[in-house]
């Protein structure tokens, strides 16, 4: 069978991202062959609801003709243009301008990267350059948040606080520091919003004091922590972190790689928080995952300091595919869709999804349900009172994913027994209801697993 031979090619030659290499050799890959709307079809003809929009990225849904036509047109007209040598292209310039229009406050300058990891990496370089330009090159220390994810580049993996991204890689951790997550469900200070905010404010201040304020370059956060298990901070937490950074004159970087482009409701989650970061990173929904692209937004202030600091000299940061015209054309087309109804639909469907998942709270395995917009999680426990996580022997990540798959649903199953949801914003009411129903079935099957005790 064709699909079997492809699986063999994949097994023998394709190194998969964030995977057990030995596990993949054993299990092989499931092949996806086509997709439309919120449904993807695998090589066995199984139609699955994609409750995770690929990797929280296909915000516009699959098969959007408007995007496909924009990409095709651009491929014919001008498939490549470098941004080096003072060259440019129309779609890149237009996309930068439209993004600046949508971005909070004075985030008026956009650098296009290839994805999220190199966007984060770029902000580390820009932060260093900024402080160098200000005559404070000793500001070389960075702070981020436990359970955070900021990519898997050599440097950004250090801001990421997930052990698998550090172990054995020699990540430069000595100048990268962490404070505790707000993680309300398991916060030692309890679940009271104000107590969590006060504890985080105190911890950030203490961390800065410990390092020395004159040494700290920047603080990073995700408006909602994604890969750490969809951890939604209390209202006001992001703004509180922002005001500590302002007061202590530390650059504040918001990583909106997941939360951008309507994932939590508005175009950018920071707008809802009422703050303007010094820099902001995005990717994923920027092109709805159709082609690779990320973007770093720089505030007027940060841009001007770096520009003045370098003067006539080159700011040596760039990639061959930065501001790629085809990616930019796709980004413009995705924005058209977001602006013309998709974000509004996402808000409505997000409310329905969260309400549906909250209805699962009576299930014996459901300890916590959280989310905002089309971003949600269900945390499973074996004892609700003690909040006991599912045992590792029940292999939550693989077995729950497999069960959901057999129920024709794709969700993220995190190792600690948290189910993650990020459906395309184009979902219909029926599709949202199906996601919830298939989740219930998956939970019932998980409860029947003898290793779940």
- Residues in contact with ligand PMP by CB under 6 A are 115-117, 120, 149-151, 222, 226-227, 255, 257-258, 283
Give whole-number Cα distances, 355 to 142, 261, 352, 444, in Å. Answer: 38, 22, 5, 19
Closest of 142, 436, 129 to residue 309, by C-alpha:
129
> CA quadruple 210, 170, 20, 38: dihedral positive or negative?
positive
Contact of 55 with 284, CB cutoff 8 Å: yes
Q: Which is nearer to ligand PMP, 95 or 452 (CB)?
A: 95
Angle between helices 116-133 and 300-310 (to 10 degrees): 60
The residue with tokens 């036509």 is 69
Q: Give the residue from 190, 175, 105 showing the smallest Cα distance to 140.
A: 175
Nearer to ligand PMP, 139 or 150 (CB): 150
Residues belonging to the chain: 453
Tell me the CA distances in angstroms from 374 to 35, 137, 346, 357, one per residue in order.
19, 41, 6, 12
For ligand PMP, the closer of residues 171 and 394 by Cβ is: 171
Q: How far is the CB of 442 from ligand PMP (least distance, A)?
A: 23
Kindly tell me which of 374 and 381 has the beta carbon lying closer to ligand PMP.
374
Q: Nearest residue to ligand PMP, using CB?
A: 116
Which of residues 295 and 349 has its CB atom nearest to ligand PMP in the complex?
295
The distance of closest approach from Cβ of residue 136 to ligand PMP in the complex, given in angstroms and rounded to an integer, is 26
Nearest distance from C-beta of residue 153 to ligand PMP, angstroms: 8
Q: Minimum distance from CB of 76 to ligand PMP (Å)?
A: 27
Q: How far is the CB of 447 from ligand PMP (least distance, A)?
A: 30
Whole-angstrom distance, CA of residue 138 vs CA of residue 217: 9
Task: Give the start-end residues of each E strand in 288-429.
Answer: 294-298, 366-372, 375-383, 388-389, 409-410, 412-414, 418-421
Of the pair 346, 356, the CB lying nearest ligand PMP is at: 346
> Min. distance of Cβ 46 from ligand PMP in angstroms?
26
């Amino acid at each position: 069978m064709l699909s079997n031979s492809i699986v063999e090619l994949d097994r023998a030659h394709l190194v998969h991202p964030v995977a057990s290499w030995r596990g993949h050799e054993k299990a092989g890959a499931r092949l996806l062959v086509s997709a439309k709307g919120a449904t993807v079809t695998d090589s066995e003809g199984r139609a699955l609801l994609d409750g995770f929009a690929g990797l929280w990225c296909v915000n516009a849904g699959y098969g959007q003709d408007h995007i496909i036509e924009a990409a095709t047109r651009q491929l014919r007209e001008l498939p490549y243009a470098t941004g080096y040598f003072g060259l440019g292209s129309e779609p890149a310039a237009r996309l930068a301008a439209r993004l600046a229009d949508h971005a909070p406050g004075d985030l008026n300058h956009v650098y296009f990267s290839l994805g999220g990891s190199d966007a984060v990496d770029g902000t580390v370089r820009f932060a260093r350059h900024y402080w160098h330009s200000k005559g404070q090159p000793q500001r070389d220390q960075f702070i981020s948040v436990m359970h955070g994810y900021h990519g898997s580049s050599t440097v950004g993996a250090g801001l990421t606080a997930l052990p698998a991204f550090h172990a054995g890689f020699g990540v430069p951790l000595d100048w990268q520091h962490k404070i505790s997550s707000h993680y309300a469900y398991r916060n030692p200070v309890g679940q009271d919003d104000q107590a969590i905010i006060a504890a985080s404010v105190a911890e950030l201040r203490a961390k800065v004091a410990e390092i020395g304020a004159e040494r700290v370059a920047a603080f990073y956060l995700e408006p909602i922590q994604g890969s750490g298990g969809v951890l939604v901070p209390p209202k006001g937490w992001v703004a509180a972190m922002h005001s500590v950074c302002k007061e202590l004159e530390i650059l504040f970087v918001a990583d909106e790689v997941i939360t951008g482009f309507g994932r939590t409701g508005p175009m950018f989650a920071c707008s809802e928080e009422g703050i303007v970061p010094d820099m902001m990173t995005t990717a994923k929904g920027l092109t709805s995952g159709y082609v690779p692209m990320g973007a770093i937004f720089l505030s007027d202030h940060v841009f001007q300091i770096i520009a003045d600091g370098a003067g006539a000299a080159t700011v040596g940061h760039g990639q061959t595919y930065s501001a790629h015209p085809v990616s930019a054309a796709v980004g413009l087309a995705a924005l058209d869709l977001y602006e013309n109804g998709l974000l509004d639909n996402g808000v409505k469907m997000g409310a329905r999804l969260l309400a549906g998942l909250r209805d699962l709270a009576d299930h014996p395995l459901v300890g916590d349900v959280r989310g905002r917009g089309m971003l949600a999680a269900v945390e499973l426990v074996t004892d609700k009172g003690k909040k006991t996580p599912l045992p590792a022997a029940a292999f939550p990540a693989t077995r729950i994913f497999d069960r959901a798959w057999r129920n024709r649903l794709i969700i993220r199953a995190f190792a600690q027994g948290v189910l993650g949801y990020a459906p395309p914003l184009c979902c219909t009411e029926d599709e949202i209801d199906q996601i919830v129903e298939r989740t219930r079935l998956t939970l019932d099957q998980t409860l029947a697993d003898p290793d779940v005790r």
